[in-house]
Amino acid sequence: MIKTVGWYRGKVKVIDQTQLPEKLIYLNLSTLKEVGEAISSLKVRGAPAIGLTAALGVALQMNLSSAKNYSEFRKEVEATIKYLSTRRPTAVNLFWGLKRMEKVLVRCKPVGGRIHPTRGLDKSSPYKGSSYINRLKRILLNEALLMIEEDDEICRRIGENGASLIKDDCKILTHCNAGGLATAGFGTALGVIFTAKEQGKRLRVYVDETRPLLQGARLTTWELKKYKIETILICDNMAGLIMRQKRIDLVIVGADRIAANGDTANKIGTYSLAVLARAHKIPFYIAAPSSSFDLKIKNGEKIPIEERAEKEITCPFGKRIAPAGIKVYNPAFDVTPSWLISGIITEKGVIHPPFQKNIQELFA
């Protein structure tokens, strides 16, 4: 299993995903700015991985803090959260991760000069009995590390819940990367595929290359190859043809944000796949943890969609392919309306239509 994000000797350790598949390089991020840059430049990417890295970013920044009391410490945490929350707008997991860090700190608000409760401090913690501020630092770090551990368990459960939908000899199409690299290490949509493989099912996975940043071609194929799963790379515009040729039994992708009615934002191109899947009567599944749901948002129209630099389209990977000065539109995500979705696979179970009602019930 990959370890996408972790804590190593006081630094945030991540895989630099922009270097894959040629090189597997780990970065040790030592400042908040480095963490912020790693997120916005997609060195770390994928909704859950972004949330986990941001949480560790808060722990990193506060580890360096020289705040003298709770209120100074809290102000610094708030400023850190504000900065990190501007790094990418669409994946709700970023805000979820930061909110959790804020919440644990709020719970540690001193009562009568003492931390209350001492949650997050294990018995063997070297910080036990150390200064008040050091204990706060440890509590934040422990929370971020706990989130990483939990992500792993959650992805395993998504895998088990989703694998029951995959029959032996299944031919699957996926888009972008919703694998170990997009989470702490196991993946959501790919987690389902890995689990089906572990169950001994024979699989063939078609992978969209995923223009413009090629997460499918560079990352998903790399992961599937490691798992020894038969993998066929296609250009995004080939999906319709292979569906018509009856080469696909099921489509499964991840999510960056799911609204209360099931409308789902995911990598640009996902919506087109869902339309194609419906036209060819192929089931279309989303796999995502509960941290990808944003129940405050009624439907997909309200999901903020990130627009990225023009050069990602005109000069992919440093090579100019379009005339200088050409106008460009580069949204990084699109929204698939829930009526095109067959089911949403979560760690709590598979949600089927009617989504509005079933999502509400699942989170009640």
Q: Would you count residue 300 as binding ligand MRU (CB under 6 A)?
A: no
Among 147, 255, 282, 335, binds ligand MRU (CB under 6 A): 255
Angle between the 32-40 and 70-84 helix axes, to the nearest 10 degrees?
20
Residues ≥6 apart with Cβ < 8 Å to 146: 120
Q: Which among 54-62, 96-104, 110-118, 182-190 is the span making contact with ligand MRU, rule CB under 6 A? A: 182-190
Q: Is the dihedral of CA 325, 326, 327, 332 positive or negative?
A: negative
CB 126, min distance to ligand MRU, A: 34
| Number of residues in the chain | 364
Which tokens belong to 103?
């919440």
Q: Is the dihedral of CA 107, 147, 50, 272 positive or negative?
A: negative
**Most distant CA pair in the chain: distance in Å?**
70
Q: Would you count residue 261 as binding ligand MRU (CB under 6 A)?
A: no
Question: Which strands, in side-by-side order, build the sheet including 26-29?
Answer: 5-8, 11-15, 26-29
DSSP string, 193-227: HHHHHHTT--EEEEEE--TTTTHIIIIIHHHHHHT
Q: Would you count residue 158 as binding ligand MRU (CB under 6 A)?
A: no
Q: Would you count residue 176 as binding ligand MRU (CB under 6 A)?
A: yes
Closest CB to ligand MRU among 57 and 254? 254
> 188-207 mask for ligand MRU (x: CB under 6 A)?
x-------------------
Q: Would you count residue 45 as binding ligand MRU (CB under 6 A)?
A: yes
Q: Confirm if 213 and 187 have CB atoms less than 8 A apart.
A: no
Q: Would you count residue 47 as binding ligand MRU (CB under 6 A)?
A: yes
Q: Would you count residue 274 as binding ligand MRU (CB under 6 A)?
A: no
Q: Would you count residue 256 as binding ligand MRU (CB under 6 A)?
A: yes
Among 48, 120, 262, 269, binds ligand MRU (CB under 6 A): 48
Q: Would you count residue 91 as binding ligand MRU (CB under 6 A)?
A: yes
How far apart, in whole angstroms, are the C-alpha atoms of residue 222 and residue 119? Answer: 39
Q: Confirm if 2 and 180 have CB atoms less than 8 A apart.
A: yes
CB 210, min distance to ligand MRU, A: 8
Catalytic residue among 151, 236, 256, 263: 256
The verdict on whether 256 is a catalytic residue reads yes
> 316-345 mask for ligand MRU (x: CB under 6 A)?
----------------x-------------
Among 53, 183, 195, 338, binds ligand MRU (CB under 6 A): 183
CB 178, min distance to ligand MRU, A: 4
Residues ≥6 apart with Cβ < 8 Å to 272: 236, 239, 334
Q: Which among 61-69, 105-113, 252-260, 311-319 is the span making contact with ligand MRU, rule CB under 6 A? A: 252-260
Q: Confirm if 304 and 90 have CB atoms less than 8 A apart.
A: yes
Supply the residues annotated as catalytic: 256
Q: Which residues bind ligand MRU (CB under 6 A)?
A: 42, 45-48, 91, 176, 178, 182-183, 188, 215, 253-256, 266-267, 332
